[in-house]
Amino acid sequence: MPARGDHDARRRDLSEAVWRVVAAEGFTGLTMRAVAAELGASTGLVTHYFPSKTALVRHALDLAAQRVDAMPRRTPDADGMAALRAAILDVLPLGRAGQIAMNRVWVSSWDLALADDALGEAQRERYARWRERLRRQVQTAQERGELPAGDPEDVSATVAAFTHGLVTQALFDPEEFPAVRQERLVEGFLAGLAGAG
């Protein structure tokens, strides 16, 4: 039995297994043994890389954040309204590989995040960073006259609310929310933003 594998490669295998488990069973189903079984390895391997359950959960959340950032963007060099539209569409579960799994992981994590102070704080910070990114695009759009004047913080919070609320509905009812409809809803929402102060 080979002992020494490539450490980083092994770690990536672990991450893949963790991801699949959480996407399929939620954080409720994330256990040391489930990860080991998914990988076809022993629990010893898992504990070797993650000394505790808490470390495992944290890694799963890090993975989610990391994959959000690494996700291929549409029109990455856009600005203003076009960038805002792209930012929303990038998040929605429109069928691109991994998008549905990613959103499932996020929504699942909220159960733990609401009950655990440290995880809740991490979630709060992630939301704040997301709104901060949106706010920059909102301001650019306002300067260009693509959006009417108004508190950029409030506008970005509204955009974040609409987006995540749509994500949740689409996750539970994919048939009622196919990609075409989600895109139509985004257009309608953006038209509302542009049309009112």
Give me the residues that bind DNA (CB under 7 A), please.
Answer: 1-5, 7, 10, 30-34, 41-45, 47-49, 51-54
Report if residue 19 touches a copy of itself, rule: CB under 8 A.
no
Backbone conformation region of residue 52, classed left if phi is above 0, alpha if psi is from -120 to 50, else beta? beta
Considering only residues 51, 95, 178, 188, which one is a binding residue for a copy of itself as defined by CB under 8 A?
Answer: 188
Supply the minimum distance, in Å, between the C-beta of residue 197 and DNA.
Answer: 51
Q: Report which residue type is found at 21.
A: V
Q: Is 112 in the site for a copy of itself (CB under 8 A)?
A: yes
Residues in the chain: 197
> Six-digit token pair at 116?
């655990």
Residue 110 interacting with a copy of itself (CB under 8 A): yes
Determine the Cα–Cα distance for residues 166 and 11; give it in Å rounded to an integer. Answer: 34
List 11, 12, 16, 24, residue binding a copy of itself (CB under 8 A): 24
Can residue 161 be called a binding residue for a copy of itself (CB under 8 A)? yes
Which listed option, DNA, a copy of itself, none, makes contact with residue 67 (CB within 5 to 8 Å by class)? Answer: none
Q: Does the protein bind a copy of itself through residue 118 (CB under 8 A)?
A: no
We find the least distance from the C-beta atom of residue 171 to a copy of itself, in angstroms, to be 7
Question: 81 near 48, Cβ under 8 Å?
Answer: no
Q: Which long-range contacts does 77-82 make (Cβ < 8 Å, 24+ apart)?
A: 79/137, 79/140, 80/137, 80/140, 80/141, 80/143, 80/144, 80/146, 81/137, 81/141, 81/144, 81/146, 81/147, 81/190, 81/194
Using CB under 8 A as the criterion, what x/- string covers residues 140-159 for binding a copy of itself? ----------x---xx-xx-
Task: Examine residue 49 and tell whether it contacts a copy of itself (CB under 8 A).
Answer: no
